C-alpha cells in the first residue's frame, strides 16, 4: 500500500466515527478556497470579473513575431504559386492560433472561422471559401483533405501555458488539461498527412501544402492501426491517434482532462476538516 492509499484508508476510518455531512461541508468549503487560490483559477476569475464590469473584446494586438511568421507564410505561398482557399490552424491553447489566423487572413484577404463553439467530435463541413479555420482539436478530428494548407504551432507547452495565464481568458485550462497529451496527439495528426513539413523561420510554426494526391491522413492512420493488428473501421480519427500513441482508443475534450488536477487540494481540505 502506497503513502496515498494509507492516508485515504486512515481518513476513511476517521470518517466512520464522525458526522459525514459535517465533514463533507467543511471539506467542501476548504477545497473551494484552496482551488480559488491557484494561479490559473485566480486568473480566470479575474477575467470573468473584468468581463462583467468592463466587457471584453478580442481585438488584441498581434505580437510582432506572429506578424513576421505570417509574412513568411505568405512568401511560402507566393514561391509555390499557391492561393489557398481553405487553411487549418491547430496548436495547444495559448500557442497563438487566433493571432496567426487573423494576421494571415489580413495579408491574403481571407476570413477567420474560430471553431470553439462547434462540436469537434463530429465531422464538420467546411463550406466557406477563402477561410482560415482554427481550433486546438482541428487536425486530430477532421479530414484534412478539406484544406489546401494545414498549420501546426509546435510551441513548447511551458510557453503556451504561461501565455494563457497572462491573458487570463481560459486560464483554468492550464490546471485541468494535459498539455503534453494535447500536443502529442496534435503533432501525430499533423505528421499523419502526406506532404513535406515546412518549418517557418524564427517561429514554432510548421506548414504542409496539400500534395496532388491529397493529404491522405485518415488513410495513413487507418493503415498504421491495421499494422498493429487492430480493426480501425469503427474508430474515429482521434480514437485511432490515441491508440497509435497510448495503446488505448480515446476521444473528446474529456480525453485530455487531468483527473488528479486538484488531488493535493482535495486531500488537504479533507484532512483539515477532520482535524477541525
Q: Do 46 and 131 belong together in one domain?
A: no
pLDDT in tens, 176-197: 999 999 999 999 999 999 999 9
Mean pLDDT is lowest, of 33-37, 57-61, 143-147, 242-246, for 57-61
Q: Do 30 and 102 belong together in one domain?
A: no
Q: What angle do CA 263, 269, 270 make, to 5 degrees?
A: 90
User: Cell numbers of 98, please?
Assistant: 487566433
Query: How far is residue 19's CA from residue 26's CA, in Å, rounded to a whole number?
Result: 11
Q: Do 110 and 230 belong together in one domain?
A: yes
Q: Do 100 and 28 belong together in one domain?
A: no
Three-state DSSP at 92 gives: coil
Q: How many residues does the chain have?
A: 276
Burial 211-238, CB ≥16 within 10 A → b, else e = eeeebbbbeebbebbeeeeeebeebbbb
Query: How far is residue 271's CA from residue 265's CA, in Å, rounded to a whole number?
Result: 10
Q: Do 145 and 247 belong together in one domain?
A: yes
| Mean pLDDT, residues 27-52 taken together | 81
Q: Do 27 and 79 belong together in one domain?
A: no
CB of 77 closer than 8 Å to CB of 83: yes
Q: Do 11 and 77 belong together in one domain?
A: no
Q: Do 46 and 102 belong together in one domain?
A: no
pTM recorded for the entire structure = 0.85
Q: Do 243 and 127 belong together in one domain?
A: yes
- The total domain count for the chain is 2
Q: Do 179 and 48 belong together in one domain?
A: no
Burial 113-141, CB ≥16 within 10 A → b, else e = bbbeeeebeeebebeeeebbbbbbbbbbb
CATH number of 220's domain: 3.40.50
Q: Do 242 and 117 belong together in one domain?
A: yes
Q: Do 38 and 18 belong together in one domain?
A: yes
What range does the domain containing 34 cover? 3-55+261-275
Amino acid at each position: 500500500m502506497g503513502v496515498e492509499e494509507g492516508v485515504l484508508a486512515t481518513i476513511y476510518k476517521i470518517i466512520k466515527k464522525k458526522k459525514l455531512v459535517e465533514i463533507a461541508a467543511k471539506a467542501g468549503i476548504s477545497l473551494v478556497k484552496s482551488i480559488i487560490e491557484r494561479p490559473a483559477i485566480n486568473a480566470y476569475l479575474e477575467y470573468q470579473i473584468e468581463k462583467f464590469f468592463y466587457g471584453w473584446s478580442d481585438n488584441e494586438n498581434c505580437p510582432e513575431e506572429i506578424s513576421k511568421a505570417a509574412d513568411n507564410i505568405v512568401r511560402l505561398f507566393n514561391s509555390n504559386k499557391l492561393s489557398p482557399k481553405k487553411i487549418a490552424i491547430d496548436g495547444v491553447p495559448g500557442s497563438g492560433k487566433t493571432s496567426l489566423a487573423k494576421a494571415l487572413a489580413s495579408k491574403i484577404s481571407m476570413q477567420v472561422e474560430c471553431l470553439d463553439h462547434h462540436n469537434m467530435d463530429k465531422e464538420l463541413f467546411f463550406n466557406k471559401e477563402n477561410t482560415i479555420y482554427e481550433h486546438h482539436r482541428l487536425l486530430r478530428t477532421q479530414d484534412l483533405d478539406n484544406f489546401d494548407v494545414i498549420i501546426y504551432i509546435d510551441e513548447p507547452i511551458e510557453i503556451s501555458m504561461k501565455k494563457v495565464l497572462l491573458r487570463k481568458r481560459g486560464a483554468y485550462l492550464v490546471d485541468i488539461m494535459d498539455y503534453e497529451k494535447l500536443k502529442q496527439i496534435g503533432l501525430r495528426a499533423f505528421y499523419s498527412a502526406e506532404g513535406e513539413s515546412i518549418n517557418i523561420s524564427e517561429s514554432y510554426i510548421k506548414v504542409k501544402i496539400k500534395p496532388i494526391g491529397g493529404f491522405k491522413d485518415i488513410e495513413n492512420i487507418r493503415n498504421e492501426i491495421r499494422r498493429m493488428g487492430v480493426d480501425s473501421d469503427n474508430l474515429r480519427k482521434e480514437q485511432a491517434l490515441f491508440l497509435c500513441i497510448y495503446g488505448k482508443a480515446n476521444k473528446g475534450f474529456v480525453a485530455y482532462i487531468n483527473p488528479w488536477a486538484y488531488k493535493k487540494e482535495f486531500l488537504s481540505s479533507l484532512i483539515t476538516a477532520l482535524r477541525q
